[in-house]
Amino acid sequence: MTSRTASFDPGSAGADTPLRRTAASLPKAMENYSSDSKRPEPRTNEKKCSWASYMTNSSTMIVMIGLPARGKTYISKKLTRYLNWIGVPTKVFNLGEYRREAVQSYKSYDFFRHDNEEAMKIRKQCALVALQDVRTYLNDESGQIAVFDATNTTRERRDLILSFAQDNAYKASSPQALWLWCGLRCVLRGHGEESFSRTTKSVFFVESICDDPDVIAENIMDVKVSSPDYPERDRESVMEDFLKRIECYKVMYQPLDPDKHDKARSFIQVINVGQRFLVNHVQDYIQSKIVYYLMNIHVHTHSIYLCRHGESEYNVEGLIGGDSGLSARGKEFARVLRTFVEDQRLAGLKVWTSQLKRSIQTAEALGVPYEQWKILNEIDAGVCEEISYEKIKRDYPDEYTSRDQDKYHYRYPGGESYQDLVQRLEPVIMELERQGNVLVICHQAVMRCLLAYFLDKSADDLPYLKCPLHVVLKLTPVAYGCKVDMFDLKVEAVNTHRNRPLSKPRQEVPPALLRRNSFTPLSSQDQVKRPRLFSMGNPPWIPLPPSLASTEVPEAQEQEELNDDQ
């Protein structure tokens, strides 16, 4: 976020500040949205996307609603982490950060009084600048979802956001998409077309409601005491000032009205930290994913322990995959792991393993009940199972090179990619969010995927996270992240980690597309050209009308688009 700072002085209502000039320079459409506004141009910087993005046919704004200290930022950050993990590019736009840029020294709750006209102007300007950044992210930076993290407690503010979304018309970002939209309107004309309006389709409200004073006080103590708004302030004065700030918002607060004013809008109300939910008018795939996730996360104190199985016989031999048993050192690790678990004194600990022999043997040594999950099995290496990397490099050089070029998206012939593995592990994440203390005994690729979710790691970094044998990681969720403790159980083991290549190797042949099934031959060069109909990813082929299908594309541009599809 570029710096746009402005000082706030209640006595200088006419001051000319950088933030004022920035807001003043916004198009008039930002304040009086017009259907004649310029539509965003087609994107030219699209990135390879995940399975989830193929199901997302429009940019989406998630708009938070709620009084302060209701967990809006907590929800925003967790939801953003989840959506990025499943492959939907998502970014949070926290209005508090914009406000702190504009007002560099916060003094008291008086700034949030509804009758403080100067402060109200600055707060509105901050919202306009944030919306401008949302538009840039969604239209120019390959963003798919923007989370607008603010109180948004008035209908006036929410209507402003809806008008902003309608004015930008994220669906019609290319001629092909516009054609598809027009065709859809023809089909739907007279059959409830209004329910498919661009505005309600691309905006989803998440309202956090809490009337439990203990939860509110805990939120203030856990998060707000360390806020940049309160440097060097004691806890008592922070609590007093923040409670008065909440009262300022209550004067203007208009909750969502599912029975009348907001009955046609898409939203979920999260009541008292997930004790109850109200879901209204969910319209598309991504909205259903958001609801599914929010109904599974729970705010409670617990720890998640992750470790790999003990060293296996194939680990010692340098072979990947397979279903070998533990080596002598692997069996020793299993015995030491039992002592470690007993020393932790974890009430109600659950133990999960894969269905592969090496993880089951590790769990058996613990002497406690455990559950076997097939989806925790190691990544399927297909025809490369039970052979070494050296043999792959020698016998399948194109496969070896392709994997080093894009390890996350690369799919083994007849096997899986890390991207596939993330999709497979999503139910595990949902269960881990709901459960208490859990020990997961899994495998290197699986552990990397789970770590990437909890530590908010990118797809590029995920395949190179270090998960050594005979080490236990303890993950403890905290306010806006996850605390990690590492325990080396001091049992020697081979090193199975392969470092990221210093530079991507030169490619002698065109890269293979992601394999769509297990029967695609090794290094298949089969290329399927599909139209770019949506903002991220490509849906199945849809015939275009002659006017669009006959459009000539320069050879260089055509080759570039093919490369992008790969």
In this prediction, residue 53 carries a pLDDT of 54
Residue 103 binned pLDDT confidence (cut-offs 50, 70, 90)? confident
Q: What's the pLDDT band for 56 if we cut at 50, 70, 90?
A: low
pLDDT tens digits for range 262-277: 999 999 999 998 899 9
pLDDT in tens, 202-247: 899 999 999 999 999 988 888 887 788 888 778 888 899 999 999 9
| Selection from 141-150, 183-192, 500-509 with the highest mean pLDDT | 141-150
Q: What's the whole-number mean pLDDT along residues 322-334?
A: 98
- How is residue 445 written in tokens? 């690729």
Average pLDDT over every residue of 451-462: 96
* Active-site residue identified among 101, 309, 409, 416: 309
Question: What is the three-class DSSP state of 271?
Answer: strand
- Rounded Cα distance between 125 and 128, Å, is 5
Asked if the model's pLDDT at residue 283 lies above 70, the reply is yes
The two most distant CA atoms of the chain are separated, in Å, by 77
- State residue 196's pLDDT score: 40
Most confident of 17-31, 307-321, 503-517: 307-321
Would you state the structure tokens that stand for residue 464, as one six-digit string? 């190179």
Q: Name which of 12-16, 191-195, 299-303, 515-519 the model is least confident about.
A: 515-519
The pLDDT-based confidence of 301 (bands split at 50, 70, 90) is confident
Ordered alpha helix ranges (H), 386-487: 389-395, 397-405, 418-434, 444-455
Pick the closest to residue 482 from 473, 495, 471, 491 (CA basis).
473
Beta strands in 121-202 (DSSP E): 145-149
Query: What is the arithmetic mean of pLDDT over 19-28?
Result: 42
pLDDT over 70 percentage in the chain: 73
305 is in an annotated binding site: no
Please give the average per-residue pLDDT across 14-24, as a whole number: 43
Any known ligand binding at 311?
A: yes
CB 203 within 8 A of CB 286: no
pLDDT at 49: 53
Helix, strand, or coil (residue 341): helix
Give yes or no for residue 32 having a pLDDT over 50.
Answer: no
**Which value, in Å, is the radius of gyration of the alpha carbons in the chain?**
26
Contact in structure between 205 and 266 (CB atoms under 8 Å): yes
pLDDT at 57: 58
Lowest mean pLDDT: which of 161-165, 283-287, 338-342, 479-483?
A: 479-483
Of 174-178, 253-257, 407-411, give the lowest mean pLDDT range: 174-178
- Ligand-binding annotation for 296, yes or no, is no
Consecutive H or E run containing 159: helix 155-168
Sorted by sequence, the CB contacts under 8 Å of residue 13 that are 6+ apart come out as 117, 118
Helix (H) or strand (E) run with residue 267 in it: strand 267-271
- With 0-12 CB in 10 A as exposed, 13-18 as middle and 19+ as buried, what is 276? exposed
Phi, psi for residue 337 in degrees, rounded to 5 = -60, -35
Tell me whether residue 358 is annotated as binding: yes
276 in a known ligand binding site: no
Hey, which residues does 29 pair with through a beta bridge?
none
Consult the annotation and say whether 310 binds a ligand: yes
Q: Which fold has domain 58-294?
A: Rossmann fold (3.40.50)
Q: How confident is the model at residue 495 (pLDDT cuts 50, 70, 90)?
A: very high
* pLDDT surpassing 90 at residue 300: no
Topology of domain 304-488, CATH? Rossmann fold (3.40.50)
Is 312 flagged in the annotation as binding?
A: yes
pLDDT for the residue 125:
94
CA distance 469 to 316: 12
pLDDT of residue 108: 86
Nearest to 211 by CA among 255, 157, 262: 255
Does 426 carry a binding-site annotation?
no
- Annotated catalytic, 342? no
pLDDT at residue number 55: 56
pLDDT value at 494 more than 80: yes
pTM for this structure?
0.77
Q: What is the 3-state secondary structure (H, E, C) of 109-133?
A: HHHHCCCCHHHHHHHHHHHHHHHHH
pLDDT at 120 exceeding the cut of 60:
yes
What does residue 154 show for φ and ψ, rounded to 5 degrees? -110, 150
What are the Cα distances from residue 563, in Å, to 51, 234, 520, 529, 559?
18, 57, 19, 10, 6
CA dihedral 284, 285, 287, 293 (to 10 degrees): 160
**Domain extent listing, the chain:** 58-294, 304-488, 527-566
Are 564 and 409 a contacting pair, CB within 8 Å? no
pLDDT over threshold 50, residue 500:
yes
Model confidence pLDDT, tens digit, residues 174-183: 333 334 334 4
> 393 CB contacts (<8 Å, ≥6 apart)?
400
Contact 118, 8 (CB under 8 A): yes
Whether 115 and 252 have beta carbons less than 8 Å apart is answered as: no
For the question of residue 378 being annotated catalytic, the response is yes
Tell me if 58-294 shares its fold with 304-488.
yes
CB proximity list for 274: less than 8 A, separation 6 or greater: 294, 295, 297, 298, 299
The reply to whether 314 sits in an annotated binding site is: yes
SS3 180: helix
Cite the DSSP H helix spans in 18-115: 18-24, 51-54, 72-85, 95-102
Please enumerate in sequence order all residues whose Cβ is within 8 A of that of 398, keeping only pairs 6 or more positions apart, or say none.
509, 512, 522, 523
- Average pLDDT in the chain: 79
Q: Is the pLDDT of residue 185 over 80?
A: no
Residue 1 has pLDDT above 80, yes or no: no
Mean pLDDT of 346-357: 95
Query: Regarding predicted confidence, which is higher, 125 or 35?
Result: 125
- Say which of 378, 399, 416, 433 is annotated catalytic: 378
> CA 333, 337, 338, 343 torsion: positive or negative?
positive
Q: Which two tokens stand for residue 105?
A: 């020294």
